[in-house]
Amino acid sequence: MTGGFREQVWAIVSAIPHGKVLSYGDVAAILGRPRMARQVGWALAALSPDTLVPWQRVVLRTGEIAFRGDPVRGPEQRRRLESEGVAFDGDRIPKGYFS
DNA sequence: GCAGTGACTAGTA
DNA sequence: ATACTAGCCACTG
């Protein structure tokens, strides 16, 4: 019935309201698996480039963008969030944007 | 079936 | 404040 952990993650992420964000750990906690933050990120990494899932709304617990080694998706995530009205404080998103 | 991997997090120094 | 470590567990070959 679960059909795989990834699909559950995609469902939760798809339900994040416009202009709000969640941390990887938050998504994992919603699934009842608070220790699976890394797997949440991994599930998002498996998404197609043309996915409709709003993956940009999932960030680190600190409010920073998770990508470190990717020169493309990191800036792209920030651009997407800013276009949704999410204001950055330096490289971090203020806690008020977390649902 | 086993070992390696990783878009995390919390703890320690 | 930054840097490093350990634990976590689904997924891949």
pLDDT in tens, A11-50: 999 999 999 999 999 999 999 999 999 999 999 999 999 9
Q: Which helix (H) or strand (E) holds A5?
A: helix A5-14
Q: Please check whether strand B approaches the CB of A56 to within 7 Å.
A: yes
Predicted TM-score (pTM) of the model is 0.93
Instruction: Report the distance from CA of residue A1 to the C1' of nucleotide B9 in Å, as an integer.
Output: 29
Instruction: Report the distance from CA of residue A23 to the C1' of nucleotide B10 in Å, as an integer.
Output: 14
Identify the pLDDT of residue A69: 72
Q: What span, in angstroms and rounded, lies between the C-alpha atoms of A58 and A16?
A: 9
Nucleotides of C under 7 A from a protein CB: 7-12
Q: Which amino acid is at A85?
A: G
pLDDT at A87 over 70: yes
Identify the pLDDT of residue A1: 64
